[in-house]
Structure 1
Amino acid sequence: MSAPVISARGLGKDFRVYAKPGDRLVELLTGRPRHQVFRALGEVDLQIHAGETVGIVGRNGSGKSTLLQLIAGVLQPNRGSVAVQGRVAALLELGSGFSPDFTGRENVMLNAQVMGLRRSEVEARFDRIERFADIGSFIDQPVRTYSSGMMVRLAFAVAINADPDVLIIDEALAVGDEAFQRKCFARIEEIREAGATILFVSHSAASVVNLCDRALLLDEGDLLMAGRPKDVVARYQRLVHAPLEQRQALREEIRSFKPVWDSEREAAGELAQDVGGKHEPAATPEGKHAAADIREWPMEAQERFEPGLVPESTVDFVPSGARIHDLQLETADGRRVNVLVPGHAYVLRYRVHFERDAHAVEMGMAIKSVDGITLFGQSSHGRSGFLAGVTAGTDLEVEFRFLTRLRPGTYFLNVGCQGLDDASNERVFLHRILDAACFRIEGMPTDRYKVGYFDLSDEPACRWRTLPG
């Protein structure tokens, strides 16, 4: 295997934290410590090879951004060392290196040279950068006159067109409008196909699984796990939703997890890669491909209920004649769950208490992605029409049955109850809850061949035949 492009040994970073700003001056004048030490990153050992796309996941404050800034050279470590081979383009805090009084053109020249490009190289790329940013005549205006969106466009355009050997992305793929985001993703795909090494930090599990060959899980400054993205993401999601009293035990469990490798292949240095939903064995040192029977890594894939798996984004609208309560997901035989398995049938159940008379009533539900995309929805009206009249004091139990054709990931549930407003004769929400609950779907081994939100395949999923002639 080739020498690593990024190599870190015992890499660590601490920050001094002061109770109030004046303590810095007191410490300087007296020599007496007035600070506490915050350990942002522990002793991390890490090797990343050319052409790898590596995802980094972890809770807020876990050390992800600190690790990237150390690799990019923005921060200097307190302990250990890190070495990076080749040109680095880092999408950290976009636009942070821009001088507000310089024009966009001047900032492009300055920032690109900081990334290691010669002036002649910047000039050769300038038209491409300008087209990518697409900010028109503002390219010759001071950056202080830019909107935040224009700043983001220009900063991204500079970094993404530097033709880096190493591209570092820290939660920077949600910038700009949808068209610009797609353009950024397309350019990143080009960079990846050209053989660049990419480090990618995101809270989006789907993005990490779809974009990355390998993933790292950081927590409280420690590297808990490195391995296949689906395995790492599954344990990251468990850690995020674990009750506080169980978190330390879960950290130790994650640390002790060992993937099932064929010992002979491990000794030979072969790496199984799962890129873009396709599984391809890596080449051996002799240039031959490993056999196709590489073992599956274990994945949890059992229905269960995790009390800590609750949304933090719930929006409960003020009731207007009815109140939804006691929402839960159940298996077909009535067990409460929020961790589901693909291909199984489930029941969304909730109750509605009517505080006043209601007419032409219907109940509904919707499933949304982490990005807020509505993936599926249905209402009681589609099956049985409106409920003509409901008197005050009535309690209804509502059931929606569905089959999970969704791919592994975390999803959110919206629920609502509508009725006819007597005054306006228009349909209104009697009660509505956004992100009322969430559930997680954990994958089965065969999922490594599929991508996207839904599994719409049949068995056999693919057929082929040789045509004559």
Structure 2
Amino acid sequence: MCSEIAINVSAVSKCFHIYDKPRDRLMQMLSRGTKRYYREFWALKDISFQIQRGSTVGIVGRNGSGKSTLLQLICGTLNTTSGGIETNGRIAALLELGTGFNPEFTGRENVYMNASVLGLTREETDLRFDEITAFADIGLFIDQPVKTYSSGMLVRLAFAVAINADPEILIVDEALSVGDELFQRKCFARLEAIRSKGATILFVSHSGSTIVELCDHAILLDSGELLTQGHPKTIVSQYQKLMYAPADKRENIRASIKDGLTVQAMELDALESSITVDDTVAESEADDFFDENLKSSSMVEFESHGAYIDHPYITDMKGRAVNNLVRGREYSYNYRVRFERSAERVRFGMVIRTTTGLALGGAHSSTGSQALSIVESGTELLVSFQFNCLVNPGTYFVNAGVFGTSYNGQEETVMHRLVDAVVFRVVPVQNNLATELVDFGCTSSVTYL
């Protein structure tokens, strides 16, 4: 296999034997093949594709389409019925919840056991143990039996072990849907870091937006067949059209996708599109407030080059600190900056991102020509950005940045940056008609012709 190919799947099929009664399994063993006591279920049928090293590939498909079976075949936990799979590199996988963990062992014991399965020596695991436990953030439960863990705690620990095994191929099967939004953001940030190091990521999700944001290639499976593959946005569009198709039209749509015919993006009605927003109906008028437990656990601080950002926070227009916002209202995003070195042409920035890291929008305090000409060492500044909250209900993160040049410097550099400095939620909206991420203030009218 070419060294540039991380995964090569060639004409792979997988058949399971379905027995109607427990005794039929015994009868099949005793018959020595003279009679069949089972029904065949082909979970995968003649699947072929290649994944380039360093790429991020998403797999989409309805439940029962064969996604999980395919991942287990790639990981080697299942054998193919026919065809072959070649992999090039160390594999770390998050498959079914709890896979590879002994429920009777403690979290600590499972870390060492799972790490050894992934190819780490005990000495290597010792060096990474503190980082694993810090990322999992399950506290004293690390020394409790895994059977006492919640599903969220289990996936935290499993993901922490997998990403610290330095995988060359990382396989994730919908596991991140279990964690809370703050942990999901932490995971997506780490996935970005792993990808930047050249690792190959194979990602299964029912979330079309996640596939579009994270992946550079996508594969559509249906009823055990590979219908098509290509650009994530196109594949997700085809997947959604197939998933929401009326039963009497599904086969025709399926055939058109499989034959490679042009498929237009699916037009979702209000119910279908609402899967991307929180339509919870508030019983009273929504109001903003501050939740002291809502804190960013995924903040990344860049190396300082003469400036430090401190105390980022959001306030309403009365100066009251808030982190649960109401769509349509105006707020102020603030942070302090301390300069330990003099700088020229100084300006500031902010960006709002989703839990998967998609940048929704941001601002600079000024253009390069209108930046602060000189800021002396020892200066402290309060930076504020006023913004209208136009995003739909959900959880979002805000970055903060300082830009400038040293004396006689020519190129603008990042003096300091905080990624995911602040987290905020947008509270549910009563009778919400806006779809997707941003409320553009759309109004509609319908006229009989």
**Please, what TM-score do these two structures have when normalized by structure 2?**
0.60
SS at match of 1:224: strand
Deviation at 1:220, TM superposition (A): 0.8
Which sits farther off after the overlay, 6-15 or 138-147?
A: 138-147
Pick from 261, 267, 275: which aligns with 1:370?
Answer: 275
Deviation at 1:94, TM superposition (A): 2.6
Residue 85 of structure 2 corresponds to residue 121 of structure 1: no
Amino acid in the other structure paired with 1:142: P
**Please, what TM-score do these two structures have when normalized by structure 1?**
0.57
CA distance in 1, matches of 2:58, 2:3: 20
Structure-2 residue corresponding to 1:275: none
Deviation at 1:455, TM superposition (A): 8.2
Amino acid in the other structure paired with 1:102: F
Structure-2 residue corresponding to 1:8: 9
Deviation at 1:367, TM superposition (A): 9.8
Residue 168 of structure 2 corresponds to residue 165 of structure 1: yes
Give % identity.
54
Q: Sort the Cα spacing of 1:189 and 1:105 in 2 relative to 1 into closer, same or farther, 3 A.
A: same
Pick from 49, 53, 70: which aligns with 1:50?
Answer: 53
Amino acid in the other structure paired with 2:74: I
CA distance in 2, matches of 1:235, 1:376: 31
* 1:391-434, Cα deviation, whole Å (9 max, x unpaired): xxxxxxxxxxxxxxxx9xxxx9xxxxxxxxxxxxxxxxxxxxx9
SS at match of 2:177: coil
Structure-1 residue corresponding to 2:86: 83
SS at match of 1:230: helix
Q: Sort the Cα spacing of 1:188 and 1:119 in 2 relative to 1 into closer, same or farther, 3 A.
A: same
Structure-2 residue corresponding to 1:60: 63
SS at match of 2:175: coil
The answer (yes or no) to whether the contact 1:369–1:375 under 8 Å persists in 2 is no
Amino acid in the other structure paired with 1:201: V
Structure 1 segment 9-408 matched on structure 2, within 5 A: 9-31=10-32, 32-257=35-260, 300=264, 338=269, 369-374=274-279
CA distance in 1, matches of 2:244, 2:252: 13
Deviation at 1:174, TM superposition (A): 1.4
CA distance in 1, matches of 2:209, 2:235: 12
CA distance in 1, matches of 2:175, 2:65: 18
Deviation at 1:255, TM superposition (A): 1.6
Structure 2 spans left out of the alignment, 5+ residues: 285-357, 359-391, 393-428, 442-449
Q: CA RMSD in A?
A: 3.4
What is the count of residue pairs matched by the alignment? 295
Q: Sort the Cα spacing of 1:163 and 1:376 in 2 relative to 1 into closer, same or farther, 3 A.
A: farther
The answer (yes or no) to whether the contact 1:88–1:166 under 8 Å persists in 2 is yes
Q: Which has the higher contact order (CA 8 A, sep 6+)?
A: 2
* 1:58-94, Cα deviation, whole Å (9 max, x unpaired): 1111111111111111111011000111111111113
SS at match of 1:254: helix
The answer (yes or no) to whether the contact 1:50–1:197 under 8 Å persists in 2 is yes
CA distance in 1, matches of 2:133, 2:16: 38
Structure 1 spans left out of the alignment, 5+ residues: 259-297, 304-308, 310-337, 339-347, 349-365, 380-406, 413-433, 442-451, 458-469
CA distance in 1, matches of 2:47, 2:433: 33
Amino acid in the other structure paired with 1:108: V
CA distance in 1, matches of 2:107, 2:176: 21
CA distance in 2, matches of 1:43, 1:205: 25
Amino acid in the other structure paired with 2:275: V
The answer (yes or no) to whether the contact 1:368–1:376 under 8 Å persists in 2 is no
